[in-house]
C-alpha cells in the first residue's frame, strides 16, 4: 500500500461539479477510509490569460495500484469528465488530475514523472498540499515549508465552503 497525492484542477464546463465528481471517483482507487481532500481554491490560469480561473485542490489516499495503473485510472476519470487529451499545454481543461507524489518513489519515463515535474513552483499545488500535509518532505529531501516560502499566492483564494 502506498500513500499518493493527486492534484485536481478544472476551469471549463461547471468546474466545481467536475472537481466534486473526480473526488467521488477517487474513492474507487483508495483504500477504505484513507481518502482526504484539501480545501478548494480559485487560481489564475498558468497558461494563456484568456481563459477562466481554475478551481484547484489536492487529494491524498492510500492505494494498492502501481504507479502506471494509477495514472491510467486517473486519465479514465478525466476522460469521463470530458477531458480531451489534445488540450493545449496549460490551456483550459474540463478536468486535470496530476499524480504529484507516489510514496517516496521517484519515477521518470515516457508516461510518468513523479514527483510531478512542476509541483515545486505551483502555488495551486503547494498550498492545498500543505493543507493536507504541512510537514511533508519530498522524496528529494526538500521540505514543503521551504517551497511555500518561495511561492507567492499569485492571486489564489480559498473557495467558500460548499
Residue 11 sits in a domain whose CATH number is: 3.30.70.560
Residue 86 has pLDDT above 70, yes or no: no
Q: What is the pLDDT of residues 15-55, one digit of tens each?
A: 999 999 999 999 999 999 999 999 999 998 876 777 899 99
Per-residue confidence (pLDDT) for residue 82, from 0 to 100: 76
Tell me the three state secondary structure of residue 122. coil
Q: What is the pLDDT of residues 73-83, one digit of tens each?
A: 999 999 888 76
What are the residues whose beta carbons fall under 8 Å from the beta carbon of 111, sequence distance 6 or more?
A: 68, 71
Considering 17, 18, 72, 83, which one is annotated as catalytic? 83
- Long-range contacts (CB closer than 8 Å, 24 or more residues apart) made by 146-152: 147/120, 151/121, 151/122, 151/123, 151/126, 151/127, 152/123
Beta bridge partners of 36: 60
Distance CA 162, CA 158 (A): 11
CB-based contact 123:138 (threshold 8 Å): no
Considering 17, 36, 50, 93, which one is annotated as catalytic? 93
Which of the four pLDDT bands, split at 50, 70 and 90, describes residue 103?
very high
Classify the C-alpha dihedral 132-55-126-60 as positive or negative: positive
**Cell output for 26:** 477517487
Reported pTM: 0.93
Distance of CA 122 to the CA centre of its chain: 11
Please give the average per-residue pLDDT across 57-67, as a whole number: 98
Considering 53, 98, 109, 122, which one is annotated as catalytic? 98
Is 96 an annotated catalytic residue? yes
Which of the four pLDDT bands, split at 50, 70 and 90, describes residue 85?
low
Distance of CA 120 to the CA centre of its chain: 12
Name which of 1, 2, 3, 12 is nearest 92 in CA terms: 12
Is 98 an annotated catalytic residue? yes
Is 93 an annotated catalytic residue? yes
* Distances 147 to 33, 65, 96, 127, 128 between C-alpha atoms, Å: 29, 28, 22, 10, 13
Q: Give me the domain span that covers residue 26.
A: 2-158
Considering 72, 96, 108, 111, which one is annotated as catalytic? 96
What total of structural domains would you count in the chain? 1
Amino acid at each position: 500500500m502506498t500513500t499518493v497525492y493527486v492534484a485536481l484542477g478544472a476551469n471549463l464546463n461547471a468546474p466545481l461539479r467536475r472537481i466534486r465528481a473526480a473526488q467521488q471517483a477517487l474513492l474507487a482507487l483508495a483504500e477504505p477510509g484513507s481518502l482526504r481532500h484539501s480545501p478548494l481554491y480559485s487560481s489564475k490560469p498558468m497558461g494563456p490569460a484568456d481563459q477562466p480561473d481554475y478551481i484547484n485542490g489536492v487529494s491524498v489516499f492510500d492505494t494498492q495500484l502501481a504507479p502506471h495503473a494509477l495514472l491510467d485510472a486517473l486519465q479514465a476519470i478525466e476522460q469521463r469528465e470530458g477531458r480531451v487529451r489534445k488540450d493545449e499545454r496549460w490551456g483550459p481543461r474540463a478536468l486535470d488530475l496530476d499524480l504529484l507524489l507516489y510514496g517516496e518513489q521517484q519515477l521518470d519515463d515516457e508516461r510518468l514523472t513523479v514527483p510531478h515535474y512542476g509541483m515545486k513552483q505551483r502555488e495551486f499545488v503547494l498550498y492545498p498540499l500543505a493543507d493536507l500535509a504541512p510537514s511533508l518532505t519530498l522524496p528529494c529531501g526538500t521540505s514543503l515549508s521551504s517551497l511555500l516560502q518561495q511561492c507567492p499566492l499569485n492571486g489564489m483564494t480559498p473557495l467558500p465552503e460548499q
